[in-house]
Amino acid sequence: MKSAPQDADALARGDRVNQLEQELMRGRLDRRAFMKFATALGLSAGSAAAIAQQAGAVAANQAARAQDLLAQYDYVIVGAGSSGCVVASRLSENPDVKVLLLEAGGDDQAPSILDPGVWYTNLGTEREWGDQTAPQRHLNGRTLKLAMGKALGGGSSINVMAYARGHKNDYDHWAAEAGDPAWNYDHVLAIYKRIENWQGAPDPAYRGTGGNVWVQPARDPNPIAPAMVRAAAGVGIPTYADHNGAMMEGAGGCAIANTTIKDGRRMNMAAHYLHPAMHRPNLTVLTGAEVQKVTLKGKRATGIEFVWQGKPRKVAAAKEIVLSAGALNSPKLLMLSGIGDAAQLKRAGVTPQHHLPGVGRNFMDHILLGGCIWEYNTPEAPRNNLAECTFFWKSDSRLDTPDLQPFQIEIPYASDVNAKQYALPQHAWSIAPGLVRPASRGHVELQSADPRARLKIHANFLSDPADMKALVRAVELCREIGNAPEMRQYAKREVMPGPLKGKEMENFVRNAAVTYWHETGTCKMGRGTMAVVDSKLRVRGIEGLRVADGSIMPRVTTGNTMAPCMIIGERMAEILKQA
């Protein structure tokens, strides 16, 4: 599916300029040729020159840095995802420190990354790790794929570009768990306001402008999106202009979604943070660098072993190593390095170096159902990221925070099982019930000491009965909204699931369950015996080693996790700069 109808010629010209820029950065095109081609495509000489200057500086700098790798850097960061890009950018603002960023994947310039309307085509490709769960007992024995980004930008390069900041209670809970008020909502809100370049209605109490992170409500949305906002209001869910403002301090509401899309193109965390910093002589970014382990001397982390360009390499860290490899690969690297539950490490063939039983525990993910689907009366083309309306609501009014986040999806969205069971029409739209405050917890473990082996992931989805109860309510609510009068002009018929009850409804949920790909929690921050990092994100009992990504969340945030992972990166940079 393509994104919103736009000026096709303008987009084609933009694509070609982007290709030329990448060729210039890689040394395949000289500056003179770039200027000639870019101006022929309609760019002004000034704009073309500015692009050429930036691209040339980045290309020359990174080529020089790669050819002259140092034996030691001040900071070594593993993973260029939504947290790692931030940490690398912020630390390299200090010209007196040397920063190395290692990313296992490639660059972020593939058309499938840049075009918001085809984001899903990255799934199952080299741009994600290909992890999957063990068979899930409570999902009728199904195995689910867990997409984690493998490119500059990490998950922000393959996700749906939905920008959800999280609920006030999320951050206040983190602060309580960590025993540190710097993680609370007030402090985090101040960071959001400082870094955002908000393009919606001005709201100085909640939104910032002039920062480096471009955020906007979905532009010119498919008409079914505002219709869903009206339908939600009709069933008692209040309407908001912005789901990241006052709405996320209370019981929830419905709104057009925030996105990180600019001029019809994805703005990932590499675009927001990393690319503008890659001209700095003190920042080295290596792609295709597969980290094997952290090296230790006693209880101090001293460096990293990795494979790059087919050769094993070692690099030392004078100050700190920061793991930002995500909620699967960060605990994996700790375990490969001998940090984790000693008995489990021995079973995998790894010699324990430091017993830390919480590594790999507390696995969480948001559940998304595929889903509730209606056939169009008259087909409407998907726009933007194909997901332009969402709501947050409580499955039980006694909860302190919304636990549901369904998303409207502008194509027929079904799980593998349900896609076979129901006859899906070509032209249809969905409301996918989502659970964003799961009670179920899982864990991950090594299958062997081989760094190339993937983890065994015991996700334990729906193992807590509370999650089934919440998702049944979510399906009922989505059906009520999808069948409301406000949606009738867009709905020829309900395709699935229909008015199921009892065990039939529960079986539908088990077959419909997939994930939001919001894997988190496996190196949780806290003070108890199962905490992996403390409030400063230091690995407990190990000097010189920190973790900064979604794995540190004591409890997953309410909503999409890209923006909170960015905040974790900002907090990591704050902490290290103050050290």
Q: Is 317 helix (H, G, I), strand (E, B) or coil?
A: strand
> How many whole angstroms separate alpha carbon 83 and alpha carbon 548?
6
Structure tokens at 349: 């063939």
413 is annotated as contributing to ligand binding: no
Question: Known binder of ligand: residue 517?
Answer: yes
Reduced to 3 states (helix: H, G, I; strand: E, B; else coil), residue 198 is strand
Between the CA of residue 398 and those of 97, 150, 395, 462, what are the distances in Å?
A: 50, 40, 9, 21
443 beta partners: 458
| 66: Cβ contacts below 8 Å, ≥ 6 apart | 284, 286
Are the C-beta atoms of 511 and 415 separated by less than 8 Å?
A: yes
Alpha-carbon span 411 to 517, nearest angstrom: 19
Q: Which letter does DSSP use for residue 333 in this model?
A: H
Q: Is the dihedral of CA 481, 5, 218, 513 positive or negative?
A: positive
CA distance linking residue 171 with residue 558, whole number of Å: 10
> Helix (H, G, I), strand (E, B), or coil: what is residue 209?
coil
CA atoms within 13 A on the CB side of 63: 11
Asked if 359 contacts 524 with a C-beta cutoff of 8 angstroms, the reply is no
**Residue 273 labeled ligand binder:** no
Q: Which of 272, 354, 443, 518 is catalytic?
A: 518
Tokens of 415: 């799980």
| 516 carries a ligand binding annotation | yes
Q: Which residue has the tokens 């002589």?
A: 281
Pairing of strands 456-458, 72-78: unpaired
Q: Which of 571, 572, 570, 550 is nearest to 559 (CA)?
A: 550
**DSSP character for 273?**
I
Consult the annotation and say whether 291 binds a ligand. yes
**Upper half-sphere CA count for residue 26 (Cβ side, 13 Å):** 10
Does 518 qualify as catalytic in the annotation? yes
Distance CA 565, CA 537 (A): 13
Between CA 131 and CA 148 the distance in angstroms is 8
Which residues have a Cβ under 8 Å from the Cβ of 37 and sit 6 or more positions away? 16, 20
- Rounded to the nearest angstrom, the gap between the alpha carbon of residue 185 and the centroid of all alpha carbons in its chain is 20
Using a 10 angstrom Cβ sphere, with 0-12 exposed, 13-18 middle and 19 or more buried, the burial of residue 312 is exposed
Write down the residue that tokens 């990293």 correspond to.
304
Which residue, 577, 560, 576, 474, is CA-closest to 119? 560
Q: What are phi and psi of 125, to 5 degrees?
A: -110, -175
Is the CB of residue 365 less than 8 Å from the CB of residue 520? Answer: yes
Q: Across-strand partners of 101?
A: 77, 285
Let me know: does 179 contact 535? Beta carbons within 8 Å: yes
Which are the catalytic amino acids?
518
Annotated binding site for substrate, which residues?
A: 516
